[in-house]
Amino acid sequence: MNNIATKQNEQKQLERLAAQREIYSFAKRLYLLQIILTVIIPITMFIIGSIWNKFAIYSALFGIIAFIVDSITISPIIKNLKTKAAKIQELFDCDVLEIDISPLKVVNDIAVEEILLNYNAHIKIKKNIEKIKNWYPTNIHELPISIGRIICQRANCWWDSKLRIRYANFLKFCGLLVFLSFFTYSFVLKLNIIDFALMLSGLIPFFQFCNKEYCDHKDAAQRLNELMRYSEDIWQYAIQNHQDYHTLKLNSRRLQDEIFEHRSKSPLILDKFFNLFRDQNELLMNRTSEILIAEAKEKIENSR
């Protein structure tokens, strides 16, 4: 009853998904560099400085430099890449889910050449294409497009929220652990105020990174929880009024606006952490989609 399952695997859409994945992949490599610069090196220099006091001044100097470099170069580049990837994903969703392009979101400024360039880079590893096929559940074709697109949108919201809550808690634990270790060490050695300030300065990039990432991930999870509540309201209306195509399409466009905002603003997650929960979350997401599809089919049959 809809073409989501077939359209998502068309060459044009696979090119978009591959380009989006490649851009995110580059952004995550920069994110890893950011972690090395603001987390790993400062902590390593802190440990060295705690053994050799004269090294503390270099640790403090590096901390200031790392903070400035990250703020004016790495973070802005990552932000730009996330926005670009979100625009490409938006073009994919609008075509596949048959949603009108929002007049409030500028997404058509992505050149075809840029998509193809990133697509060609992504397909150098052949298994990459297999991973992006069947982006949405294949049995979604059994429903009207007005119902099927909502299930696909709900899947986007649920997956990300759970993962970000885990990641935010992980960052909070790491930040608190280092913070408590630093003050315990300072208390035991009875550091004077100058040495204390120098060593603390060296850890500023780390504390700033953990605090920003924790807040960003918690905010992202909260936005998605609100989206889930909104999508649930849309879903309940949809299965009761599945023939009200105009309202359902309008509701999906509103939800898609917020999904785009989330994708363009949300912080990144390292693949290593993502993969820890990928299989478990994917199975649960697919099972949830099956339940929603069955519920919708039952309501539609009963209304005839």
| pLDDT for residue 189 | 66
**Residue of 221, 291, 223, 249 whose CA lies nearest to 145:** 249
What pLDDT digit, counting tens, does each position of 90-117 carry? 999 999 999 988 877 767 777 777 888 8
What pLDDT digit, counting tens, does each position of 260-286 carry? 988 898 888 877 777 776 666 677 777
**Residue of 152, 151, 146 whose CA lies nearest to 248:** 146
CA-based angle 138:165:35, to the nearest 5? 105
What pLDDT digit, counting tens, does each position of 28-53 carry? 999 999 999 998 888 888 778 777 76
C-alpha to C-alpha distance for 116 and 56, rounded to whole angstroms: 49
| pLDDT for residue 23 | 93
What pLDDT digit, counting tens, does each position of 126-180 carry? 677 778 888 888 888 888 899 999 999 888 877 667 778 888 888 888 888 887 8
For 69-83, what is the mean pLDDT?
A: 92
Q: Mean pLDDT over all residues of the chain? A: 83
Alpha-helical segments (H) within the chain = 4-7, 11-35, 41-51, 56-69, 75-96, 112-122, 127-132, 145-189, 193-202, 204-240, 245-265, 271-303
Distances from the Cα of 228 to the Cαs of 14, 35, 92, 203, 212, in angstroms? 27, 31, 21, 37, 24
The pair of structure tokens assigned to 249 is 């399409």
